[in-house]
Structure 1
Amino acid sequence: MTNAHMASRPRKHRLAIVIGSVREGRFGPVVAAWVAQQAQEHGGFDIDSIDLAAYDIPLTLPAVSPKRAGASYPRPESMASLTERLTEAEAFVLVTPEYNHSYPAALKAAIDWHFTQWAAKPVAFVSYGGAAGGRHAALHLENVLTELHAVTIRDGLAFPNYFTAWKDGTPLDSQAPLYAKTMLNQLAWWADALTTARGTSPYPM
């Protein structure tokens, strides 16, 4: 391959796939593993799968906002690795169930402990649940991430009645990989655009 061809290939962006549920018996890791497989086949990302169940994420927050405190925000040592991984990510997929028409408390806490980690980065949503497929959770997350200056991707994935719609770690809907490819294409486009923009000038908060 010539240097010209190598230069024309877009570089891979670091994609954090976040498992938002920490509930016992959760289905999130199954969905996240499938999403990671789709992202691997897409070829545009270096994948980092983040399981929030692996972290102690307190619900009690410091008095100061992470938006105001910046790098000096007093996060507990137990979250140091999580913060580093979110900081290094250039794009996100949040995998969430729907609990009482919204998303899990652990995911909200992880979001609230951070600010600049989300800003000017693209975020896609993959939800699962009953008849609604977790869409209420995704809608709420769109509002929250927009407030944090993230760019939310329109074409996410929703899996209604996941308990009968999946088999052996794979959705039964034959169109699911196509929908995933559309989401990942948009995510890669925005990751490239926003990473380039952040490298050119700091995002104005």
Structure 2
Amino acid sequence: MYEQALKNDYLDNIVEMLDRLKQDVLAMKETVAVKTETLIWYEGLKLRKVDRIAREGDYVRPTVYSESECVSLGRIYGPVSADKKIKGEDEWHYLVYNNTFNRTPSSVEVFEVVPGVKRIPEKEVSKLKLQSAEKISQVSKESYEKFKVAALESESFKRLIKGIEESAEAGFSHFNFKIIDEEDPRILDVFAEQLNQAGYRVRSGFPDINKLYIHWSEDDE
């Protein structure tokens, strides 16, 4: 009887932690929003965001992370050439759209030059470059927040929660979680952050980057 009472208290604590974790996920979904601008200044030009494929003379901005070091997330590139290319960080020219590097019509913002607007004097351009750097930082943060929301809505996260619940009900105080090969290992960083906030102790499965070790008892290491 006493052991059953202890087990009930133990399970109640697990349920409370899981509820707190789920509430955190819901709160994140409600507060995350992608901020967009319709008009911006760049290198002395006034640009207007448009909802279409890039054309010659346009400027573009990638909004999704990729492994490319030549065309970076959040940076504005342009003008677009007649063959739909832009000059990258290394001064070489690259296609605006390239599926290999996550540059698609849905992940690249397009801006057209607003006609009839005079270029800003050169002395003001430096100030605008600083503002642009701040915007890059903000875009990167917003992109990561979107990634976090997607991770916490994934089947992988549901599988993690189910594994914790089943392990707790079976009397265990730990659970080892592993993602499948086709899943992005970066989602484990998101999971670990949320679990830590909910009161769990989490460590990576290094050197196996696809694993997490989750504990919820001070006596279990």
TM-score by shorter chain over 0.5: no
User: TM tier, shorter chain?
Assistant: under 0.3
Greater helix share, 1 or 2?
Answer: 1
